[in-house]
Structures are given as structure tokens and as C-alpha cells.
A and B are shown apart, each in its own frame.
Chain A
């Protein structure tokens, strides 16, 4: 497992790249900026990426994180990749539901289901 900047840990698999957020709370502008740099860097390393974002550690996030996820999603799909979110707690899921972002993000219960839902290899 590799660590990039303190915000995420990354695992590279055949089927997908799994990025796990390491912070319990993702709030401040600085957090978001660093996360964006990390994620865009990971996406940019590959021509096409199947990206799984694991939220198992995340207990709190602000709407700025939702904006970041939209930007990440756009970049992944521009490169003909796929994006899955997983291990989102019920409270955080409620935020996605209220904002209707459950309509644009594929959210799966865990890594296994997220990986299984991906078409093909990266």
C-alpha cells in the first residue's frame, strides 16, 4: 500500500485502483485542495482508470467534498474510466441522498461489490 500526501492511501489492482481516505473529517479548504491534487495525480498517471473511492474512515464531510467528487468523476469519465464509491456510512450517505448525488455516483456497500460492478480491467 502506498501513501500519497497524508490524505489517502492507494492500492493498485488489476481491475481497479482503490483510494482510501485516511482522514475522519474532510472539511477545510486545505484538505480539499490536497485531496484534489492527490486524486487528480492518481487519475493522471493512467490512460484510463477504474477508480474505487473507499470512505470507510470518513465520519464527516462538507459539501466542498461533493464538489471535489464531481470534478474527479468528470476527469475519470473523460478518460473513459469508471468511478465507484464504497463503504459510505449511513450519515454520509444521507448527504448524498439529500443532494441527489446518488443519481450520478455509483455507490456500493463495500470494495468487493464495487470491484464486481466494474466492467473489464483498467
Chain B
């Protein structure tokens, strides 16, 4: 049976841990693999860090809305911050040149690598992520491909 939930959390780094604690039993009950659970956990953490640090500028009075749905063939998460948004296309690739030695900038790369679909809204303050169940993966969509 699909599980869907919407939560609003504060912009404190530890808030997403509670969300994953809510999500994890549903994933296990739906027989998602440890690989899928690991991937979703990582993408959730990275997206939340970005929402708090870059979206909400660490302002504690700003919130992050997390909608998630656990379905038979996929897990979908939508995360929205209260920031003004950004253009994901201008984020430099952390894998090459001087960027490889920089301590930050890898969150989006990991999100794109571990989730099958990553889509931002036009404003850039909301990201939709989908991970398909391992054995039923379709080919990666253009929206989810790595830069």
C-alpha cells in the first residue's frame, strides 16, 4: 500500500534525521533493498543540507517542506525551501580541475548519481527526486542524468 506524507521541518541540520527515521520503516516494510534505502538516505541528506545552507541560508526561522511517497515501484521525495532559488545548471562539476580539491560542492552530484530522476522547479527552490526499485529500473531520463 503506498505511503505518502508531508512534513515541515526547521532549518536545523539534524531535522532530516527524524524524517529518515519516519521513512525507513516504510521502505523496509515495502521490501526496498538496502541499496535503495542507502541511496534514498544519502539523497535526502544532501538535498536537505543544500536546502538549509544554500536555500534558507541557515536561518532558523525558515522551514523546509518534505513530501515523500513510497510506492510499489518507486520512492519519490520533493523538498522545498523558502529561499529565492538558484539555477542548478550553473553549479560547477566537482569532479574536475581545481574543483576536485574543493571541500564543498558534491551534494548535487551525489543526488544525481543515487536517484534516477532529479528535477528542479523553475524558481530553483524545490527539488523532486525519484528512485525506482532496483529490479524495475527504466533507462535514466535526461532529467536525471549526471552533468
Contacts and interface: CB of A to CB of B under 8 A. Distances in A.
B107 A28 contact: no
A99 B106 contact: yes
Contact of B106 (A28, A30, A66): A66
Contact of B113 (A27, A60, A91, A98): A98
B50 to A, nearest CB: 10
Interface stretch (A40-48, A100-108, A114-122): A100-108
A56 to B, nearest CB: 17
B134 to A, nearest CB: 14
Interface string B93-108: 0111000111110110
A67 interface: yes
A64 B95 contact: no
Interface residues of B, number: 23
A30 B106 CA distance: 19
Contact of A100 (B42, B95, B110): B95
Nearest to A67: B103
Contact of B17 (A28, A64, A100): A28
B103 A103 contact: no
Contacts of B38: 60, 91
Given A60-B41, A62-B42, A62-B49, A28 B14 contact: yes
B101 A70 contact: yes
Interface in A67-114: 67-68, 70-71, 91, 95, 98-101, 103-104
B52 to A, nearest CB: 9
19 contacts: A29-B13, A60-B38, A60-B41, A60-B42, A62-B49, A63-B49, A63-B106, A64-B49, A66-B106, A68-B103, A70-B102, A70-B103, A95-B42, A95-B110, A98-B109, A98-B113, A99-B95, A101-B100, A104-B101
Given A62-B42, A68-B103, 10 more contacts: A27-B17, A28-B14, A60-B41, A60-B42, A62-B49, A63-B46, A67-B106, A98-B109, A99-B109, A99-B110
The 3 closest A-B pairs by CB, nearest first: A67-B103, A63-B106, A100-B95
Interface of A: 27-30, 60, 62-64, 66-68, 70-71, 91, 95, 98-101, 103-104
